[in-house]
Amino acid sequence: MLDDRLLPTPERVLRAQLCRTQLYQGVWHVLVQWHGMFTVDATWEQLQAFKDLYPDIQLEEELFEEAGRDVRTGASPIRG
């Protein structure tokens, strides 16, 4: 419960992404599928805020190892 509101229950974390937008430069986000919701309804949450609200959730290291790929396409970014 947070501020007398029930918190949704995370079912699983689908992806992790290091944000590159100017506002959130260098901030990790995780794509969370919530209990009772469809995968298409998953939401991006700031990692630290998510960990603060759900400290018992263990995140898989593979999420962060693959985070260098573009989340929309799965392709690695072109560097040159």
Instruction: Indicate whether 24 belongs to any domain.
Output: yes
* Domains in the chain, number: 1
Structural domain harbouring 14? 10-56
CATH of the domain at 43: 2.40.50.40
Instruction: List, in sequence order, the alpha helices (H) in 1-80.
Output: 47-53, 61-65
Q: pLDDT tens for the chain, 80 residues: list them.
A: 566 678 899 999 999 998 877 777 788 999 999 999 999 999 999 999 999 999 999 888 888 776 655 444 444 444 44
Instruction: Indicate whether 18 belongs to any domain.
Output: yes
CA-CA-CA-CA torsion for 39, 43, 45, 49, nearest 10 degrees?
A: -90
Instruction: Indicate whether 19 belongs to any domain.
Output: yes
Instruction: Indicate whether 16 belongs to any domain.
Output: yes
